[in-house]
Amino acid sequence: MKKFVLVILAAALAAGGIMMLENSGTPTAAAGNAYTGTLLVAGMGGHFTKADVSIDPSAENPIKLESLDRIVIGDKTTHPTHDPRVDVNDKNIMYWSTYKLDPNGKLHVGKSEIKSGKKLEDKAIDLDARAKWTGALYCGSGQSKKFFMPVTMTDEAYIDVFDKKTLELKHRVFLDKEGYTPGKTKFYHGVNSPDLKTFAVSINMADDGKPNGKIDMLLLDMAALEKGKAKVLAKNTITGTPGKTLTFRQSFTPDGKYLLQSGGDRMFLLDGKTLALIDEEMLDIGENHDVISTPDGKYGLLTLRNKVKDGDKEVTDGSVVLYDIGSKKLTGGMTSVCMSCHNKVGITGNAVLCGADAVW
């Protein structure tokens, strides 16, 4: 058996906050059937929360949240965030980006120590003038050894390339030469492959700014992206239901064999090299905003926004559920990872989840 040490960002978020999870590392040895570790989650309140978790795929409720702590990068007016990205070079460093403009009209990218919570860098960045719709900004991100690459949800959307040492913006990559023009797309999300050679991008296609259920999946060459160029290595179009199917964050299995792609009313399992569709899991239990792989590549952990009762009110909670990649089906029940935290600190109302990253 194997033992895995996780880092998940688990936040006691303010109403409208977000939880994030993502895979980036190599497993170490272990006992028993459970995955165990320490968690971290990004929130709209300007903080990341660390937590201890255990995951037992055979249990009725596989994911158990043990404890919580926080990494603060700002407040809800300056640093609302969706995006943690653990450094592939140093598992104690986390890169991050912000989801909304601060009061001065700036975005932020930065890096923090995971163990101490100390903020090491914080750079204020101008939004590109080509981004006319700005309701959602940085969300997904990837990296290479030298560069951090957050992706915007703007229209027109783009990929930024930052030097990891200085957080200097080196390149801003648009995909208009590949045919993705304003009004024709709704949200980009992207992530690097485990070998750091490719960068997967999901693009929701749109008619007059409204998503039409068609999603273009691209695999970009990482070496070209580091130089500010978009070189498409593979492309596939997948299709869902207009108004319901909308892709968000994604992750590869550690061996790069599969790409796990969230899709709103469903999740997609794609070939990690060709982007061919392998499986499509329809969901009636919530809206899927991320999928991360366990470090052995056997399961996908789906993050869901689902409706629950809070007293006499219906509110949104953030929950997680496991997908068995081998048998291609959901396994076990849902576990609340947002409202369960909110209740402990006396926060009421919506507890909204999105995506994340983890150190194994």
- The answer to whether position 357 is within a domain reads no
For residue 333, what pLDDT is reported? 74
Is pTM, for the whole model, over 0.75? yes
Domain region containing 317:
2-345
pLDDT band at 327 (very low <50, low <70, confident <90, very high): very high
Q: With a cut of 80, say whether residue 99 has pLDDT above it.
A: yes
How far apart, in whole angstroms, are the C-alpha atoms of residue 341 and residue 337? 7
Q: Which residue is listed with tokens 């935290």? A: 341
Higher pLDDT pick, 188 / 66: 188
Residue 262 lies in a domain: yes
Count how many domains the chain has.
1
Tell me how crowded residue 81 is: count the other CB atoms within 10 A of its CB: 30
Q: Which residues pair with 173 in a beta bridge?
A: 159
Binned at pLDDT 50, 70 and 90, residue 160 comes out as very high
The whole-number pLDDT of residue 309 equals: 65
Among 199, 249, 215, smallest CA distance to 19 is for 249
pLDDT in tens, 161-170: 999 999 999 9
Q: Which two tokens stand for residue 23?
A: 């895979």
- Look at residue 356 and tell me if it is in a domain: no
Order of strands across the sheet that contains 159-163: 138-143, 147-152, 159-163, 169-173
CA torsion angle 305 311 313 315 (round to 10): -10
Compute the distance between CA of residue 308 and CA of residue 306 in angstroms, rounded to an integer.
7
How far is C-alpha 126 from the chain's CA centre?
A: 22
Per the model's pLDDT, the better-predicted residue between 89 and 331 turns out to be 89
> What's the order of all strands across the beta sheet hosting 63-72?
35-43, 47-55, 63-72
CATH number at residue 84: 2.130.10.10
Separation between Cα atoms, residue 196 and residue 271, nearest integer Å: 16
pLDDT score, position 41 = 73
| Confidence at residue 241, expressed as pLDDT on a 0 to 100 scale | 96
Distance between CA atoms of 20 and 141, rounded to whole angstroms? 12
Say if residue 156 is preceded by a cis peptide, omega within 30 of 0. Answer: yes
Beta bridge partners of 172: 160
- In what helix (H) or strand (E) does residue 109 lie, and over which residues does it extend? strand 106-113
Q: In the chain, what's the furthest Cα-to-Cα distance?
A: 54
How buried is residue 64: exposed, middle or buried, by Cβ count under 10 Å (0-12/13-18/19+)?
middle
- Per-residue pLDDT reduced to its tens digit, 191-227: 999 999 999 999 999 998 899 999 999 999 999 999 9
**Which DSSP category does 337 fall into?**
S
More confident residue, 190 or 46: 190
Q: Which pLDDT band holds residue 24 (cuts at 50, 70, 90)?
A: very low
Let me know if residue 254 belongs to a domain: yes
Establish how many alpha carbons lie within 13 A of residue 86's alpha carbon, considering only the half-sphere containing its beta carbon: 26
Residue 11 is predicted with a pLDDT of: 35
Q: Which residues contact 175 (CB under 8 A, 6 or more apart)?
A: 157, 158, 188, 201, 203, 218, 230
- Percentage of residues of the chain with pLDDT beyond 70: 80
CA-wise closest residue to 226 among 158, 168, 165, 149: 149
Q: Amino acid identity, residue 254?
A: P
285 pLDDT more than 60 = yes
DSSP 128: P
**What H or E segment, with its residue span, contains residue 319?**
strand 313-324
- Name the nearest CA neighbour of 288 among 236, 343, 251: 251
How many angstroms separate the CA atoms of 301 and 98, rounded? 24
On the question of pLDDT at 20 being above 90, the answer is no
Instruction: Residue 45: name the closest of 6, 5, 85, 73 by CA.
Output: 73
* Inside any domain, residue 121: yes
Which residues, 6+ apart, have CB-to-CB distance to 313 below 8 Å? none
3-state helix, strand, coil in the chain (%, to 5): 5, 50, 45
Residue 353 resides in a domain: no
Residue 331: pLDDT band (50, 70, 90) is confident
* Bridge partners, residue 288, by sequence: 264, 304
The pLDDT value recorded for residue 33 is 57
Does a structural domain hold residue 358?
Answer: no
Query: Does 129 reside within a domain?
Result: yes
Query: pLDDT value at position 58?
Result: 84
